[in-house]
Amino acid sequence: MHTLRLLQNEWIKLVKKPSTIVMGSILVVLVATLTVFVATFDDLAFWEFVNQASSLYAIVILFSIIAGGSTVASEFSNGTIKLLLIRPVKRVKILAVKFFVVVLFGSLLLLILAGATMLAGGLAFGFEPLFINGENQLADLGETYVLYAVELVVYAAMAFTISTVFRSNSLAIGLSIFLMFVGPQLSLFASRYEWAKYLLFANANLTQFKEGRVMLDGLTIEFSLAVLAAYLILFAIVSWQVFQRRDVAV
Amino acid sequence: MKTVVEIKNVKKRIGKKEIIHGISTKLYPGEVFGFLGPNGAGKTTMIRMMVGLTKVSEGQIFINGHSITTDFEKAVRHVGGIIENPEMYKHLTGYENLRQYERLFPDPLPAGRVDEVVKLVGLEKRIHEKVKSYSLGMRQRLGIAQALLHKPSLLILDEPTNGLDPSGIREIRQYIRRIAKEEQMAVFVSSHLLSEMQLMCDRIGIIQNGHLIRVEKTEALVHSGNQEVLINAAPSSKVKDLLGDRSYQQTEDGFIVQAEKDELPELIRYLLKHDIDLFEITPIKKTLEDSFLQMTEEDSYAYAQTAAK
């Protein structure tokens, strides 16, 4: 199938980039360092550690922002866009495939994170059974990671859209990372206004509902999912329209 | 005859400014068509519209009968090209780059096609090295390889000899001529290098300020304009008198006189009748460059005139 071959193309371009290999290595090294650090000062139970260490997912989002912010922009800055867009493939398809590969890459990093923390946790603190007090711990962890994945898709889409519109990876990556860290604070400052709960950053972190520490009053997971879906649709329309209409002159 | 490309009154506006003012022309199989013009005349804009990188503001472009605007995939299926420099994914090998382009076609290309084009451009030895280690000449060849991968019926080359050394230029030129004839492919080449175009193209279109001011067979273009002959004769004062009101120019080598070919016997008889020592009489072969400069000068002159009005 043609779409599969297009996916293969984008995947090869992404994973063969030196920076991608560096990202993967950094993630594994971070997990190892964290494990050694925690094991020196503390004695945690296995599942406790794995759950705490999952907060490294912020790094994965950061890497996904980098991948999402450069996939389109780098084709422009390298000039390869000219050879990419003169093939019998609709522009919208190229764009969709590119975004899908970014999400795939982010998800793979999340899996690596989960695998690495479990392995390192087991080695440092000893493995624990799957069920504790009749609860499936792995399923619980999986749920957390699914919520992380949604956040990842939203931020990657934001970086992807900025980079498609401005064709600059540094702007896309810089702005997205800035918003990712500052956004939630902004939402808190704005919390006395009604519109604050429609901000992307107030809704992006879905684990707030699982942990019961909801950022703004009145937020529910259903509401947040609806807001995020609206943002994703907006990002999709903007990047598609801009990419479709753009005159390529690089 | 079958047309490969039909360009119909194509205009391009950027904002309110019109930069291509209604260009029309046709390209036929097996011919090399040169698109000649100074920098900024609109060559690259025209080419970008032909491959769908830039939208056509008005008019239409058909490739093998398919409109590039409304039937993009079908039209572009038959086009191969290099737009300005052949930029490749530098972190991939030459081979991996070609595989990328191969996979962009909906119906798979025949097995072994990639190896075939690699051989065709003579890159077998270095094809599995990363593109960042390639010289400019090798990148040009890889660029040509990707353009030929799917056996296009239209090959578009924007300044194909840019940055190549003389032997590389010669090689590319011979190569382009050969494949055009062998594969019955139409080749659209743009350049501002006149001498280059003269050797490579069957027909030449001259573009200036977004107007296609002339389309001619290369031969006709080279021999167009007023013919000049060099007459070396003595004594020069007498020659001057005899030339009378003909327009001429005195140089170290003799007189450069404007005269058509069929006027020459008459002129020679006339000079000899008046006891002139005639040492040499040579028609001055004009190069495309001369014709081109003459034409574009006339054109800018005409513009200045209309602008003044």
Residue B297 — pLDDT band, cuts 50, 70, 90?
A: low
* pLDDT value at B308 more than 60: no
Mean pLDDT of chain A, nearest integer? 94
Question: Where do the domains of chain B lie?
Answer: 5-219, 228-284
Which ranges of B128-211 would DSSP assign to H, the alpha helix?
136-148, 166-183, 194-200
**B81 vs A249, residue with greater confidence:** B81
**Could you give the CA distance from residue B241 to residue B7 in angstroms, rounded to a whole number?**
53
**pLDDT (mean) for B87-91:** 94
**pLDDT (mean) for B225-249:** 81
pLDDT at B114: 95
* pLDDT value at A196 more than 60: yes
**pLDDT (mean) for A188-202:** 90
Residue A172 lies in a domain: yes
Smallest Cα–Cα separation from A109: which of A226, A22, A177?
A22
pLDDT at B86: 85
Q: Is A247 in Cβ contact with B100 (below 8 Å)?
A: no
* pLDDT value at B62 more than 90: yes
Name chain B contacts of A82, Cβ cutoff 8 Å: 53, 83-84, 87
Residue A160 lies in a domain: yes
pLDDT at B304: 59
pLDDT at A27: 96
pLDDT at B218: 85
pLDDT digits (tens, 9 = 90+) for A118-162: 999 999 999 999 898 889 999 999 999 999 999 999 999 999 999
Residue A216 — pLDDT band, cuts 50, 70, 90?
A: confident
Residue A102 lies in a domain: yes
Name chain A contacts of B90, Cβ cutoff 8 Å: 78
pLDDT at B289: 66
**Could you give the CA distance from residue A162 to residue A69 in angstroms, rounded to a whole number?**
7
pLDDT at A78: 92
Evaluate whether the domain defined by B228-284 bears CATH number 3.30.1360: no
Name chain A contacts of B52, Cβ cutoff 8 Å: 85-86
**Could you give the CA distance from residue B55 to residue B74 in angstroms, rounded to a whole number?**
16
Domain spanning B5-219: which CATH class is it, in words?
alpha beta
Most confident of A26-35, B132-141, B256-265: A26-35
pLDDT at B287: 65
Residue B8 — pLDDT band, cuts 50, 70, 90?
A: very high
Kind and range of the H or E run holding B217: strand B211-217
Nearest-neighbour CA in chain B from A236: distance (Å)? 21
Residue A214 lies in a domain: no
**pLDDT (mean) for A176-182:** 92
Q: Is B100 in Cβ contact with A82 (below 8 Å)?
A: no
* pLDDT value at B40 more than 60: yes
Q: Which token pair is B206?
A: 């001259």
Residue A215 lies in a domain: no
**pLDDT (mean) for B26-30:** 94
Name chain A contacts of B20, Cβ cutoff 8 Å: none
* pLDDT value at A175 more than 70: yes
Residue A46 — pLDDT band, cuts 50, 70, 90?
A: very high
Name chain B contacts of A89, Cβ cutoff 8 Å: 73, 104, 106
Q: Which token pair is B298?
A: 């006339």
Residue A245 lies in a domain: no
Q: Which token pair is B63?
A: 């490739």
B72 touches chain A (CB under 8 A): yes
Smallest Cα–Cα separation from B163: which of B138, B144, B142, B180?
B138
B16 touches chain A (CB under 8 A): no
* pLDDT value at B225 more than 80: no
Rounded to the nearest 10 degrees, the angle between the axes of helix A57-70 and helix A91-125 is: 160
Q: Is B146 in Cβ contact with A83 (below 8 Å)?
A: yes
Rounded to the nearest 10 degrees, the angle between the axes of helix B136-148 and helix B94-103 is: 20
Residue B300 — pLDDT band, cuts 50, 70, 90?
A: low
Q: Is A245 in Cβ contact with B55 (below 8 Å)?
A: yes
Which of B55, B73, B87 comes nearest A83 by C-beta? B87
* pLDDT value at B302 more than 70: no
Residue with structure tokens 């907006």?
Answer: A234
> Residue A130 is part of which domain span?
2-181
B83 touches chain A (CB under 8 A): yes
Residue B260 — pLDDT band, cuts 50, 70, 90?
A: confident
* ipTM summary value: 0.89
Torsion of Cα atoms, B193 then B195 then B199 then B204, to 10°: 60
Whether B144 and B121 have beta carbons less than 8 Å apart is answered as yes
Residue A31 lies in a domain: yes
Buried b (16+ CB within 10 A) or exposed e, A168-179: bbebbbebbbeb
* pLDDT value at B270 more than 60: yes
- Domain count of chain A? 1
Which ranges of chain B would DSSP assign to H, the alpha helix?
43-50, 72-76, 94-103, 113-120, 136-148, 166-183, 194-200, 218-222, 236-243, 264-273, 288-308
Long-range contacts formed by B63-70: CB under 8 A, 24+ apart: B63/B4, B63/B5, B63/B153, B63/B154, B64/B4, B64/B153, B64/B154
Kind and range of the H or E run holding A61: helix A57-70
pLDDT at B168: 78
Residue A17 lies in a domain: yes
Whether B188 and B207 have beta carbons less than 8 Å apart is answered as no
pLDDT at B170: 84
Torsion of Cα atoms, B185 then B190 then B194 then B195, to 10°: -40
pLDDT digits (tens, 9 = 90+) for B153-202: 999 998 877 767 788 788 888 888 888 998 899 999 998 777 788 888 99
* pLDDT value at B242 more than 90: no
**A100 vs B286, residue with greater confidence:** A100
